[in-house]
Structure 1
Amino acid sequence: MPTAHLGDIVSLMFMAIALGMDAFSVSLGMGMQKIRLKRIAIVGVIIGLFHMIMPFLGIVLGNFISSQIGGYATLAGGLLLVGIGAQMVFSSFNHESQRLAQPVGIGLVFFALSVSLDSFSVGLSLGLSEVQTVIALLLFGTASMALTWTGMILGRKMRGLLGVYSEMLGGSILCGFGLHILFG
Protein backbone atom coordinates (compact mmCIF):
# COMPACT_ATOMS: atom_id res chain seq x y z
CA MET A 1 0.00 0.00 0.00
CA PRO A 2 1.71 3.21 -1.13
CA THR A 3 2.02 6.04 1.33
CA ALA A 4 0.65 9.46 0.51
CA HIS A 5 3.29 12.00 -0.47
CA LEU A 6 2.95 15.68 0.28
CA GLY A 7 2.62 16.46 -3.44
CA ASP A 8 -0.23 13.97 -3.75
CA ILE A 9 -2.03 15.49 -0.77
CA VAL A 10 -1.63 19.02 -2.15
CA SER A 11 -2.99 17.87 -5.51
CA LEU A 12 -5.94 16.22 -3.79
CA MET A 13 -6.57 19.40 -1.78
CA PHE A 14 -6.78 21.46 -4.96
CA MET A 15 -9.07 18.85 -6.51
CA ALA A 16 -11.25 18.90 -3.39
CA ILE A 17 -11.55 22.69 -3.52
CA ALA A 18 -12.38 22.56 -7.24
CA LEU A 19 -15.09 19.95 -6.60
CA GLY A 20 -16.46 21.96 -3.68
CA MET A 21 -16.71 25.21 -5.65
CA ASP A 22 -19.96 24.16 -7.27
CA ALA A 23 -21.36 23.52 -3.80
CA PHE A 24 -20.20 27.02 -2.80
CA SER A 25 -21.82 28.65 -5.84
CA VAL A 26 -25.10 26.82 -5.44
CA SER A 27 -25.13 27.34 -1.67
CA LEU A 28 -24.69 31.06 -2.20
CA GLY A 29 -27.99 31.10 -4.05
CA MET A 30 -29.70 28.67 -1.68
CA GLY A 31 -28.53 30.68 1.34
CA MET A 32 -30.56 33.65 0.12
CA GLN A 33 -33.70 31.82 1.19
CA LYS A 34 -34.80 32.22 4.78
CA ILE A 35 -32.73 29.40 6.32
CA ARG A 36 -31.74 29.01 9.97
CA LEU A 37 -28.15 28.43 11.04
CA LYS A 38 -28.98 24.93 12.30
CA ARG A 39 -30.32 24.01 8.84
CA ILE A 40 -27.19 25.51 7.22
CA ALA A 41 -25.03 23.28 9.43
CA ILE A 42 -27.06 20.20 8.48
CA VAL A 43 -26.98 21.05 4.76
CA GLY A 44 -23.17 21.44 4.89
CA VAL A 45 -22.72 18.07 6.58
CA ILE A 46 -25.05 16.31 4.11
CA ILE A 47 -23.31 17.85 1.10
CA GLY A 48 -19.95 16.88 2.60
CA LEU A 49 -21.18 13.29 2.99
CA PHE A 50 -22.42 13.23 -0.60
CA HIS A 51 -19.03 14.54 -1.75
CA MET A 52 -17.53 11.50 -0.04
CA ILE A 53 -20.12 8.92 -1.11
CA MET A 54 -20.28 9.85 -4.79
CA PRO A 55 -16.54 9.58 -5.53
CA PHE A 56 -16.42 6.39 -3.46
CA LEU A 57 -19.17 4.92 -5.63
CA GLY A 58 -17.28 6.13 -8.67
CA ILE A 59 -14.11 4.43 -7.49
CA VAL A 60 -15.89 1.19 -6.66
CA LEU A 61 -17.96 1.10 -9.83
CA GLY A 62 -15.29 2.58 -12.10
CA ASN A 63 -14.38 -0.74 -13.67
CA PHE A 64 -18.00 -1.67 -14.38
CA ILE A 65 -19.43 1.54 -15.82
CA SER A 66 -18.67 2.98 -19.24
CA SER A 67 -17.04 6.37 -19.57
CA GLN A 68 -20.27 7.85 -21.01
CA ILE A 69 -21.98 7.89 -17.59
CA GLY A 70 -20.04 11.06 -16.68
CA GLY A 71 -21.89 13.02 -19.35
CA TYR A 72 -25.27 11.77 -18.17
CA ALA A 73 -24.45 12.56 -14.55
CA THR A 74 -23.45 16.09 -15.51
CA LEU A 75 -26.64 16.51 -17.56
CA ALA A 76 -28.81 15.32 -14.66
CA GLY A 77 -27.05 17.65 -12.21
CA GLY A 78 -27.44 20.64 -14.51
CA LEU A 79 -31.12 19.95 -15.10
CA LEU A 80 -31.76 19.60 -11.36
CA LEU A 81 -30.09 22.95 -10.65
CA VAL A 82 -32.02 24.72 -13.41
CA GLY A 83 -35.27 23.23 -12.08
CA ILE A 84 -34.60 24.22 -8.48
CA GLY A 85 -33.48 27.70 -9.53
CA ALA A 86 -36.51 28.26 -11.76
CA GLN A 87 -38.82 27.20 -8.96
CA MET A 88 -37.14 29.70 -6.62
CA VAL A 89 -37.49 32.53 -9.16
CA PHE A 90 -41.17 31.75 -9.82
CA SER A 91 -41.96 31.44 -6.11
CA SER A 92 -40.42 34.87 -5.49
CA PHE A 93 -43.35 36.35 -7.46
CA ASN A 94 -45.99 34.35 -5.58
CA HIS A 95 -45.52 34.76 -1.83
CA GLU A 96 -48.51 32.55 -1.00
CA SER A 97 -47.04 29.48 -2.69
CA GLN A 98 -45.11 27.01 -0.63
CA ARG A 99 -41.46 26.72 -1.60
CA LEU A 100 -40.54 23.39 -3.16
CA ALA A 101 -36.79 24.00 -3.20
CA GLN A 102 -36.23 23.95 0.54
CA PRO A 103 -33.10 22.09 1.65
CA VAL A 104 -35.02 19.64 3.85
CA GLY A 105 -36.04 16.03 3.32
CA ILE A 106 -36.03 14.89 -0.29
CA GLY A 107 -35.23 18.46 -1.41
CA LEU A 108 -31.98 18.28 0.54
CA VAL A 109 -31.15 14.92 -1.04
CA PHE A 110 -31.74 16.32 -4.55
CA PHE A 111 -29.76 19.44 -3.71
CA ALA A 112 -26.80 17.45 -2.35
CA LEU A 113 -26.98 15.00 -5.25
CA SER A 114 -27.02 17.76 -7.85
CA VAL A 115 -23.86 19.42 -6.52
CA SER A 116 -21.98 16.17 -5.98
CA LEU A 117 -22.63 14.36 -9.26
CA ASP A 118 -19.41 15.67 -10.77
CA SER A 119 -17.46 14.04 -7.96
CA PHE A 120 -18.80 10.68 -9.13
CA SER A 121 -17.01 11.17 -12.45
CA VAL A 122 -13.86 12.20 -10.60
CA GLY A 123 -14.18 9.00 -8.56
CA LEU A 124 -14.26 6.98 -11.77
CA SER A 125 -10.91 8.43 -12.81
CA LEU A 126 -9.44 8.15 -9.31
CA GLY A 127 -10.29 4.46 -9.29
CA LEU A 128 -7.79 3.92 -12.07
CA SER A 129 -4.94 5.71 -10.27
CA GLU A 130 -3.07 4.79 -7.12
CA VAL A 131 -4.56 7.55 -5.03
CA GLN A 132 -5.10 7.13 -1.30
CA THR A 133 -8.87 6.69 -1.31
CA VAL A 134 -9.51 7.54 2.34
CA ILE A 135 -7.45 10.73 2.21
CA ALA A 136 -9.12 11.80 -1.04
CA LEU A 137 -12.63 11.17 0.29
CA LEU A 138 -11.97 13.00 3.56
CA LEU A 139 -10.54 16.00 1.71
CA PHE A 140 -13.47 16.05 -0.74
CA GLY A 141 -16.03 15.91 2.07
CA THR A 142 -14.31 18.48 4.27
CA ALA A 143 -13.75 21.00 1.47
CA SER A 144 -17.29 20.77 0.13
CA MET A 145 -18.78 21.03 3.61
CA ALA A 146 -16.73 24.13 4.45
CA LEU A 147 -17.45 25.74 1.09
CA THR A 148 -21.18 25.00 1.45
CA TRP A 149 -21.25 26.64 4.87
CA THR A 150 -19.34 29.64 3.53
CA GLY A 151 -21.68 30.02 0.55
CA MET A 152 -24.84 29.71 2.61
CA ILE A 153 -23.63 32.18 5.26
CA LEU A 154 -22.63 34.70 2.58
CA GLY A 155 -25.97 34.16 0.84
CA ARG A 156 -27.76 34.73 4.11
CA LYS A 157 -25.89 38.00 4.64
CA MET A 158 -26.71 39.11 1.09
CA ARG A 159 -30.38 38.32 1.72
CA GLY A 160 -30.43 41.02 4.37
CA LEU A 161 -28.91 43.50 1.94
CA LEU A 162 -31.14 42.60 -1.01
CA GLY A 163 -34.46 42.06 0.80
CA VAL A 164 -37.29 40.71 -1.37
CA TYR A 165 -35.05 40.36 -4.43
CA SER A 166 -32.71 37.91 -2.73
CA GLU A 167 -34.75 34.80 -3.57
CA MET A 168 -34.99 35.89 -7.20
CA LEU A 169 -31.22 36.45 -7.30
CA GLY A 170 -30.59 33.13 -5.56
CA GLY A 171 -32.78 31.28 -8.06
CA SER A 172 -31.04 33.06 -10.92
CA ILE A 173 -27.66 31.95 -9.58
CA LEU A 174 -28.85 28.34 -9.41
CA CYS A 175 -30.29 28.52 -12.94
CA GLY A 176 -27.13 30.13 -14.25
CA PHE A 177 -24.91 27.54 -12.67
CA GLY A 178 -27.11 24.73 -13.99
CA LEU A 179 -26.99 26.22 -17.50
CA HIS A 180 -23.23 26.57 -17.18
CA ILE A 181 -23.01 22.86 -16.32
CA LEU A 182 -25.24 21.96 -19.26
CA PHE A 183 -23.69 24.19 -21.92
CA GLY A 184 -20.34 25.34 -20.50
Structure 2
Amino acid sequence: MTPGTIAILSLSMSTDAFAAAVGRGASHRPSWQGAVRAGMVFGVIEAITPLIGWTLGLLAAGFVQQVDHWIAFGLLAVVGGKMIWEARKPASADSVGPSPSRSALWALVATAIGTSIDAAAVGVGLAFLGANIWIIAACIGLTTFALTTIGMMIGRAVGVRFGKWAEMIGGLALIGVGTTILIEHLGLFVR
Protein backbone atom coordinates (compact mmCIF):
# COMPACT_ATOMS: atom_id res chain seq x y z
CA MET A 1 0.00 0.00 0.00
CA THR A 2 1.17 3.50 -0.76
CA PRO A 3 1.65 6.08 2.00
CA GLY A 4 -1.35 7.99 0.64
CA THR A 5 -3.56 4.90 0.82
CA ILE A 6 -2.38 4.20 4.36
CA ALA A 7 -3.19 7.79 5.33
CA ILE A 8 -6.69 7.56 3.83
CA LEU A 9 -7.26 4.20 5.51
CA SER A 10 -6.05 5.56 8.87
CA LEU A 11 -8.33 8.58 8.62
CA SER A 12 -11.25 6.41 7.56
CA MET A 13 -10.77 4.01 10.45
CA SER A 14 -10.56 6.94 12.86
CA THR A 15 -13.69 8.82 11.84
CA ASP A 16 -16.15 6.66 13.75
CA ALA A 17 -14.01 7.07 16.87
CA PHE A 18 -13.89 10.80 16.13
CA ALA A 19 -17.68 10.92 15.83
CA ALA A 20 -18.07 9.06 19.13
CA ALA A 21 -15.53 11.39 20.76
CA VAL A 22 -17.42 14.46 19.58
CA GLY A 23 -20.56 13.01 21.13
CA ARG A 24 -18.81 12.15 24.40
CA GLY A 25 -17.15 15.56 24.45
CA ALA A 26 -20.51 17.26 23.99
CA SER A 27 -22.04 15.37 26.89
CA HIS A 28 -19.09 15.07 29.30
CA ARG A 29 -17.26 18.37 28.64
CA PRO A 30 -13.82 16.85 29.39
CA SER A 31 -10.66 18.62 30.44
CA TRP A 32 -7.64 18.50 28.11
CA GLN A 33 -6.17 15.66 30.20
CA GLY A 34 -9.45 13.74 30.02
CA ALA A 35 -9.51 14.16 26.24
CA VAL A 36 -5.92 12.85 25.96
CA ARG A 37 -6.77 9.83 28.15
CA ALA A 38 -9.78 9.07 25.97
CA GLY A 39 -7.60 9.44 22.88
CA MET A 40 -5.11 6.95 24.30
CA VAL A 41 -7.82 4.39 25.05
CA PHE A 42 -9.33 4.71 21.58
CA GLY A 43 -5.92 4.75 19.85
CA VAL A 44 -4.60 1.62 21.56
CA ILE A 45 -7.77 -0.37 20.94
CA GLU A 46 -8.01 0.85 17.33
CA ALA A 47 -4.38 -0.25 16.73
CA ILE A 48 -4.93 -3.70 18.23
CA THR A 49 -8.08 -4.68 16.34
CA PRO A 50 -6.60 -4.64 12.81
CA LEU A 51 -3.81 -6.88 14.13
CA ILE A 52 -6.43 -9.36 15.34
CA GLY A 53 -8.26 -9.21 12.00
CA TRP A 54 -4.99 -9.54 10.08
CA THR A 55 -4.07 -12.66 12.07
CA LEU A 56 -7.46 -14.22 11.31
CA GLY A 57 -7.08 -13.24 7.66
CA LEU A 58 -3.65 -14.89 7.42
CA LEU A 59 -5.13 -18.13 8.67
CA ALA A 60 -7.62 -18.06 5.81
CA ALA A 61 -5.43 -16.43 3.12
CA GLY A 62 -4.26 -19.68 1.54
CA PHE A 63 -7.84 -20.68 0.81
CA VAL A 64 -8.90 -17.48 -0.90
CA GLN A 65 -5.96 -16.11 -2.89
CA GLN A 66 -7.90 -16.08 -6.16
CA VAL A 67 -10.61 -13.83 -4.74
CA ASP A 68 -8.71 -11.83 -2.11
CA HIS A 69 -9.27 -8.50 -3.89
CA TRP A 70 -13.01 -9.15 -3.97
CA ILE A 71 -12.99 -9.97 -0.25
CA ALA A 72 -11.01 -6.82 0.58
CA PHE A 73 -13.39 -4.76 -1.59
CA GLY A 74 -16.45 -6.39 0.00
CA LEU A 75 -15.24 -5.88 3.57
CA LEU A 76 -14.28 -2.25 2.98
CA ALA A 77 -17.54 -1.57 1.14
CA VAL A 78 -19.62 -3.11 3.92
CA VAL A 79 -17.72 -1.28 6.66
CA GLY A 80 -17.89 1.99 4.70
CA GLY A 81 -21.59 1.49 4.02
CA LYS A 82 -22.22 0.78 7.70
CA MET A 83 -20.39 3.97 8.65
CA ILE A 84 -22.52 5.97 6.20
CA TRP A 85 -25.68 4.29 7.53
CA GLU A 86 -24.72 5.06 11.14
CA ALA A 87 -23.90 8.67 10.24
CA ARG A 88 -27.39 9.13 8.77
CA LYS A 89 -29.16 7.81 11.88
CA PRO A 90 -30.24 10.39 14.45
CA ALA A 91 -28.06 10.59 17.54
CA SER A 92 -29.35 8.52 20.42
CA ALA A 93 -28.60 8.63 24.10
CA ASP A 94 -26.45 5.49 23.68
CA SER A 95 -24.13 7.15 21.16
CA VAL A 96 -23.21 9.81 23.68
CA GLY A 97 -22.61 7.47 26.60
CA PRO A 98 -23.41 7.72 30.27
CA SER A 99 -22.48 10.65 32.43
CA PRO A 100 -19.12 10.48 34.15
CA SER A 101 -19.18 8.03 37.00
CA ARG A 102 -17.30 5.10 38.47
CA SER A 103 -18.00 3.11 35.31
CA ALA A 104 -16.93 5.90 32.95
CA LEU A 105 -13.70 4.08 32.01
CA TRP A 106 -15.62 0.90 31.14
CA ALA A 107 -18.09 2.92 29.08
CA LEU A 108 -15.17 4.54 27.27
CA VAL A 109 -13.51 1.17 26.59
CA ALA A 110 -16.80 -0.32 25.37
CA THR A 111 -17.30 2.63 23.02
CA ALA A 112 -13.72 2.26 21.75
CA ILE A 113 -14.21 -1.45 21.10
CA GLY A 114 -17.51 -0.78 19.35
CA THR A 115 -15.94 1.78 17.02
CA SER A 116 -12.93 -0.46 16.29
CA ILE A 117 -14.77 -3.57 15.06
CA ASP A 118 -14.53 -2.21 11.53
CA ALA A 119 -10.73 -2.04 11.90
CA ALA A 120 -10.69 -5.79 12.58
CA ALA A 121 -12.62 -6.38 9.35
CA VAL A 122 -10.18 -4.17 7.48
CA GLY A 123 -7.30 -6.13 9.05
CA VAL A 124 -8.74 -9.31 7.52
CA GLY A 125 -8.73 -7.65 4.11
CA LEU A 126 -5.17 -6.38 4.59
CA ALA A 127 -3.97 -9.92 5.30
CA PHE A 128 -5.19 -10.95 1.84
CA LEU A 129 -3.22 -8.09 0.30
CA GLY A 130 0.02 -8.91 2.13
CA ALA A 131 0.16 -5.36 3.54
CA ASN A 132 2.59 -4.39 6.30
CA ILE A 133 0.11 -4.56 9.17
CA TRP A 134 2.52 -3.16 11.78
CA ILE A 135 2.92 0.17 10.02
CA ILE A 136 -0.77 0.36 9.16
CA ALA A 137 -1.90 -0.53 12.71
CA ALA A 138 0.48 2.06 14.17
CA CYS A 139 -0.81 4.71 11.75
CA ILE A 140 -4.44 3.83 12.54
CA GLY A 141 -3.73 3.95 16.29
CA LEU A 142 -1.88 7.27 16.17
CA THR A 143 -4.48 8.85 13.89
CA THR A 144 -7.28 7.61 16.13
CA PHE A 145 -5.49 8.96 19.21
CA ALA A 146 -5.14 12.39 17.61
CA LEU A 147 -8.64 12.57 16.17
CA THR A 148 -10.31 11.27 19.33
CA THR A 149 -8.48 13.79 21.49
CA ILE A 150 -9.40 16.59 19.09
CA GLY A 151 -12.95 15.25 18.78
CA MET A 152 -13.47 15.33 22.55
CA MET A 153 -12.45 18.98 22.63
CA ILE A 154 -14.51 19.87 19.56
CA GLY A 155 -17.49 18.13 21.13
CA ARG A 156 -17.34 20.59 23.99
CA ALA A 157 -17.83 23.40 21.51
CA VAL A 158 -19.99 22.19 18.63
CA GLY A 159 -21.90 19.10 19.74
CA VAL A 160 -22.75 15.84 17.99
CA ARG A 161 -23.75 17.01 14.48
CA PHE A 162 -20.19 17.59 13.20
CA GLY A 163 -19.10 14.06 14.13
CA LYS A 164 -21.80 12.54 11.90
CA TRP A 165 -20.38 14.32 8.84
CA ALA A 166 -16.87 13.02 9.62
CA GLU A 167 -18.21 9.46 9.91
CA MET A 168 -19.99 9.77 6.55
CA ILE A 169 -16.85 11.06 4.83
CA GLY A 170 -14.83 8.22 6.39
CA GLY A 171 -17.33 5.66 5.07
CA LEU A 172 -17.09 7.10 1.57
CA ALA A 173 -13.29 7.02 1.79
CA LEU A 174 -13.31 3.33 2.80
CA ILE A 175 -15.52 2.46 -0.15
CA GLY A 176 -13.10 4.41 -2.35
CA VAL A 177 -10.08 2.50 -0.99
CA GLY A 178 -11.88 -0.82 -1.54
CA THR A 179 -12.81 0.17 -5.09
CA THR A 180 -9.20 1.17 -5.81
CA ILE A 181 -7.93 -2.20 -4.53
CA LEU A 182 -10.43 -4.03 -6.74
CA ILE A 183 -9.59 -1.97 -9.83
CA GLU A 184 -5.84 -2.44 -9.32
CA HIS A 185 -6.13 -6.22 -8.86
CA LEU A 186 -8.38 -6.58 -11.88
CA GLY A 187 -5.79 -4.73 -13.95
CA LEU A 188 -8.15 -1.90 -14.87
CA PHE A 189 -5.91 0.77 -13.37
CA VAL A 190 -2.25 1.16 -14.25
CA ARG A 191 0.00 3.29 -12.05
**Residue 39 in 1 paired to residue 34 in 2?**
yes
Amino acid at match of 2:143: A
Distance 1:176 1:58 in 2: 27
Unaligned ranges ≥5, structure 1 = 1-6, 92-98, 159-168
Q: Give me the CA root mean square deviation.
A: 3.7
Which residue in 2 is equivalent to 1:60? Answer: 55
Distance 1:47 1:112 in 2: 5
1:17-166 mapped onto 2 (5 Å cutoff): 17-33=11-27, 34-62=29-57, 63=59, 86-87=92-93, 100=98, 102=100, 104-158=104-158
Unaligned ranges ≥5, structure 2 = 62-70, 172-191
Distance 2:140 2:163 in 1: 22
SS at match of 1:127: helix
When residues 61 and 132 of structure 1 are mapped into structure 2, their CA distance, relative to the original with a 3 A threshold, is same
- How far apart are residue 44 of structure 1 and its match? 0.3
Number of residue pairs matched by the alignment: 150
Distance 1:119 1:151 in 2: 19
Please say if residues 86 and 175 of structure 1, whose CA atoms lie closer than 8 Å, have aligned partners that are also in contact.
no
Distance 2:36 2:121 in 1: 26
Please say if residues 30 and 153 of structure 2, whose CA atoms lie closer than 8 Å, have aligned partners that are also in contact.
no
- How far apart are residue 15 of structure 1 and its match? 0.7
Amino acid at match of 1:141: G
**What is the identity percentage for the equivalent residue pairs of Structure 1 and Structure 2?**
20
When residues 12 and 173 of structure 1 are mapped into structure 2, their CA distance, relative to the original with a 3 A threshold, is closer
Distance 1:18 1:88 in 2: 22
Distance 1:133 1:175 in 2: 28
Q: Among 13, 16, 21, which residue is 2:7 paired with? A: 13
Distance 2:141 2:107 in 1: 20
Please say if residues 98 and 104 of structure 2, whose CA atoms lie closer than 8 Å, have aligned partners that are also in contact.
no
| TM-score of the two chains, using structure 2 as the length reference | 0.62
Distance 1:101 1:176 in 2: 24
- How far apart are residue 9 of structure 1 and its match? 2.1
